[in-house]
Structure 1
Amino acid sequence: MIRIIKNLSIIFCCFLLIFSINNLKILAENRVFLDLKMEFLGEYDLKDSTYQDTVIGGLSGITYNPQKNLFYAISDDRANFSPARFYTLNIDLNNDKINKINIENVTFLKNEKGELYPKNTTDTESIAFSPRNSLFISSEGVKNTNTPPFIKEYDLKGNFKSSVRIPERYIPIEGEKKGIENNLGFESLTIKANGIMPQDPFRLFTATESALVQDVDRNNPETVLRSRLMHYVINPFGDPVLVGEHLYLIDNPSLGVFYNGLSELLALPEEGYLLSLERTLGLRGYGVKIFQLSMANATDISNQKSLGNNLNNITPIRKKLVFDLQKLPIKLDNIEGFTFGPRLADGSQSLIMVSDNNFSKNDKQKNQFLLFKLN
């Protein structure tokens, strides 16, 4: 009997030890991340299909100008329907809902020569308002015209101002196994400004929607989910400096999902933290998950020629699920972009998402806007 009691005591102690270790892990994990909560407030469908002879669609990114209380939404039209462009939106958020969205302007982007971009030479996917009253815009590039991806700065009238240098490992070259996969490039872009003056340096983050060609091992499907996230410092003088590159692991697809990727990033006010938007498409339609990212202790992978091998020596960016939009009582469209907006009546932060309708006809998809409260 004494032996049985001793054995039971040992088993109990083991269970207690395991329970304590798991609790310590949970507490440690909680210290890594901020305490964030998202609350869904409503949706709004932009019914307008044209504006000033342009086709409204492909809204794949959105950003907020707090100085004018206006939003800018980028279209991913490759100048096939209308010239490369962004729209200026006035979004009425009274009473914690989107009451009305008015399009106030459409602005055509111009290249270094001051000309409109020719057809199939841009695939603009994300947009970010900068402290120097300009817009940074990313393009995935166009493979069939051998047009490389880019990140460029424009003034609010669409005129080219500057470029952000993209490392050669991201640039596809025919006959070489390297670079961004077609239509899976810089879908995301966000700016983190710490300074109080327009000329102060600020940070820019972007990531690939999926893995680079050289990072994929065709015998290991999970390597497709290994995205690279780049961190730049934008200075008032000189070229932007790439200060870090990190591994971002996209979630494994659930049953019935045949596509998932990283669609957008959004810098949080707290240093070293971002939100990410991962979009899926499957048998249940579109899905979206919002994650909180912690950059602390993530390995710099800028010298990694390939991520197709073992990752034991690489610490990826940590992430934590904040909100799964598939749990909402609405039908999701192709949500690709999100941004902070003005403060709501209770002082909490508004968060607005936008969908890319893929220029679909017969109302199969829509220009959907979603409003959330973040606190």
Structure 2
Amino acid sequence: MRSSLTRRALAAALLLTSTLAPAVAVAAQPGGEGRPSERAVHARLLGEKIVPHKLDFQGTTVGGFSGVDRNRCTGEYVFISDDRSYLQPARFYTARLDVDAAGVHSVDFTGTHPFLQPDGSVYPSPSVGDGKAVDPEEIRVDPRSCDYWWAQEGDRSKAAGAGPVIQPSVQFAGPTGAYRGQLRLPSNYEITMDERGPRRNQAIEAITFGSRGRVVTSAVEGPLLQDGPVPDLEHGALVRVTQQTRGGRVLGQYAYPLEKIFAPSDPTSPWAPDTGVPSILAFPDDPERYLVLERTWVAGSGYKIRLFDATTRGATDVRATDSLAGQPVRAMRKTLVADFHTLGLSTVDNTEGMTWGPVLPSGERSLILVSDDNFDSEAVTQIVALAVR
């Protein structure tokens, strides 16, 4: 999701500058309905790197990174840009990251390709108005084939008759962006004209593979229209998390408890608070357990980024529940792993993507996260590395 805001200018980064912060351990703390397992998860900062604003690479504008994953076949990382073909065609980038226990040392882009439609053409800008535009938000590398699975939010018109409805989707692409198919999504992920389904700009931003590639899990960023209002200062909300087979059969759907808004909004701002789940990541050894990223922006207070350890174990399967509003469902349990304001980062920005990195000599697993700068000079493309135990 892109925030429509202009914030206080950040210090400009002229070169790729690595920041190695002191190791800060953040113990898991209670959140949601309690800890999902007996093993507390800890996270500490390894380092960060800022990519220069609007870096030119192979004739494209680097930025808008809303998802990242690691390709086991090449050792490279893949980043998806959420440029909706306004600057250049909707696309992804590959890069080599030099990350170890001492920090993030370099980010070297190695390639970029546009996503292609079934007919081999690139995706048009929404301004064309033909209903074929996409809103790229998440990318995952298929553990079996190393093809790319990517999610896009589609588009719900601001008002009736204002433009075509574009349905959210999860598509498959080859290593150079060629179209290879599409995942069949749950019926309640569909945008309908009777005000049901995902809210505008709050559809699928999060997908992950689990069970060695046998299970695909997705999360809707915010509550479906029929599931109740968005979070406010007093109440959180429930968003749907769905487990499916690779062929699209729904295995289960669960309610994830989204936090309430953390601070009052500046009353002079025209922008409402913006919160949701931009990324979800399966644990390698537990098919019911996930890292869930929650990202919130509030006018006058900026961003709050929190990482949670969550589980579907014991949660109510809500796939047949038409509306979660007022229903006695048992939500997924979750535990706070890290609040980014406690990690010692140079700035806390619009973090939207995450993936597992290499195992460290300490036995900890590295976690790579990336922020979406929205191509705004007052935001940053920030690559962060954490150590997770």
TM category, shorter: 0.7 to 0.9
* Residue of 146, 152, 157 corresponding to 1:133: 146
Retained in 2: the 8 A contact 1:225–1:261?
A: no
Within 5 Å, give how 1:331-346 maps onto structure 2.
331-346=347-362
Is the aligned partner of 1:92 residue 2:98?
Answer: yes
Q: Which amino acid aligns with 1:367?
A: T
Q: Which amino acid aligns with 1:189?
A: I
Match of 2:327 in 1: 311
Aligned length: 335
Match of 2:12 in 1: none
The offset of 1:256, in angstroms, is 2.9
**Larger % of helix: which?**
1
Select the structure of larger CA radius of gyration.
Answer: 1
Within 5 Å, give how 1:193-204 maps onto structure 2.
193-194=211-212, 202-204=214-216
Is the aligned partner of 1:151 residue 2:163?
Answer: no
Is the aligned partner of 1:292 residue 2:309?
Answer: yes
Unaligned regions of 5+ residues in structure 2, if any?
1-29, 127-132, 158-163, 266-272
Retained in 2: the 8 A contact 1:33–1:292?
A: no
Within 5 Å, give how 1:1-375 maps onto structure 2.
32-47=37-52, 49-120=55-126, 121-131=133-143, 132-144=145-157, 145-174=164-193, 176-194=194-212, 202-216=214-228, 225-234=237-246, 239-256=247-264, 258-271=273-286, 272-282=288-298, 283-308=300-325, 310-312=326-328, 314-329=329-344, 330-360=346-376, 363-375=377-389
Q: Which amino acid aligns with 1:142?
A: D
What is the rounded CA distance, in whole Å, between the counterparts of 1:152 and 1:33 in structure 2? 36
Unaligned regions of 5+ residues in structure 1, if any?
1-24, 195-200
1:214 alignment partner, SS class? helix
1:116 alignment partner, SS class? coil
C-alpha RMSD over aligned residues: 2.3
What is the rounded CA distance, in whole Å, between the counterparts of 2:332 and 2:61 in structure 1? 38
Percent of pairs identical after alignment?
A: 27
- 1:224 to 1:170, Cα distance in 2 relative to 1, 3 A: farther
- 1:254 to 1:221, Cα distance in 2 relative to 1, 3 A: closer
Cα deviation digits, residues 101-138 of structure 1 (max 9, x gap): 01100011011222211112111101111122111110
Retained in 2: the 8 A contact 1:294–1:317?
A: yes
- 1:294 to 1:167, Cα distance in 2 relative to 1, 3 A: closer
Highest RCO, 1 vs 2 (Cα 8 Å, sep ≥ 6): 2
2:284 alignment partner, SS class? coil
The offset of 1:284, in angstroms, is 2.4
The offset of 1:218, in angstroms, is 8.7
Following superposition, which runs of at least 4 residues in structure 1 exceed 6 angstroms of deviation? Answer: 218-224
TM-score relative to the length of structure 1 = 0.84
Q: Which amino acid aligns with 2:191?
A: P
- 1:335 to 1:219, Cα distance in 2 relative to 1, 3 A: closer
